[in-house]
Amino acid sequence: MKPDLDFLTILRRHFPIFIGAFYLALFALAISLYLLLELYPPARADYGTYIVQTNLGMSVYLCSANFLVIRGRPWAPWLIVAAMAACILVLVGTWGRGAPDLLYSIGLLLSLATLMALNSKRYRAMQTAMVDVRAQRTAWRQHHRKRR
C-alpha cells in the first residue's frame, strides 16, 4: 500500500473542499425547499411536518451521496449534481413569485458554487484518490481470501 494513499492523509488534504461542497449543497437544497413550500404551501397544520420530513429526506440523500464519494464510487458526484440541477430548476421555475429576489439569487449562487466546487481540480483529485483507495481495499480483500 502506498503511504500517500492512506485514507486519513487524503482526508486531511482534501477535507476543506469536500466539506465546503457538502455545506453549499445542503444550503442550496434548504433554500430551494423553502421557496418551493412558499409557492405551494401545504395546509397550515401540516407545514411543520412537511418541512421536517423533506429536510430529513434531503439530508439523508445528500449524506448518502457524499458517503458514496468517500467510499470511492466514481459515479457518486453525479447524485449531487442531480440534486443541484433540481435546485436550479426549482429556483428558475419559481423566480419572482412571492419571495424576495435576493433569496432566489442566493439559492442560485449556492447551487452554482456547489457545481463549481464539484468540478474543481482538488475535488476531482480527491475523488481519484478515493477510487484508488477503493481499488487497494478490493485487492487486499481478494489477496487475503486466496490465502485462506
| 10-residue mean pLDDT series, the chain (148 residues) | 66 89 95 86 81 90 94 93 95 83 91 96 91 86 79
Total Cβ atoms within 10 A of residue 58? 19
**The predicted structure's pLDDT at residue 3:** 55
Looking at residue 43, its pLDDT comes to: 77
Altogether, the residues listed in the chain come to a count of: 148
- Residue 5 pLDDT: 66
CA distance 101 to 90: 14
C-alpha cell at 23: 455545506
CA-based torsion, 117, 24, 31, 76: positive or negative: positive
CA proximity to 99, closest of 50, 32, 43? 32
Is the pTM higher than 0.95? Answer: no
Q: Are 118 and 21 in contact (CB under 8 A)?
A: yes
Residue 100, Cβ density class (10 Å: 0-12 exposed, 13-18 middle, ≥19 buried): exposed
* Structural domain span for residue 122: 3-147
**Number of independent structural domains in the chain:** 1
According to the model, what pLDDT value does residue 81 have?
A: 97
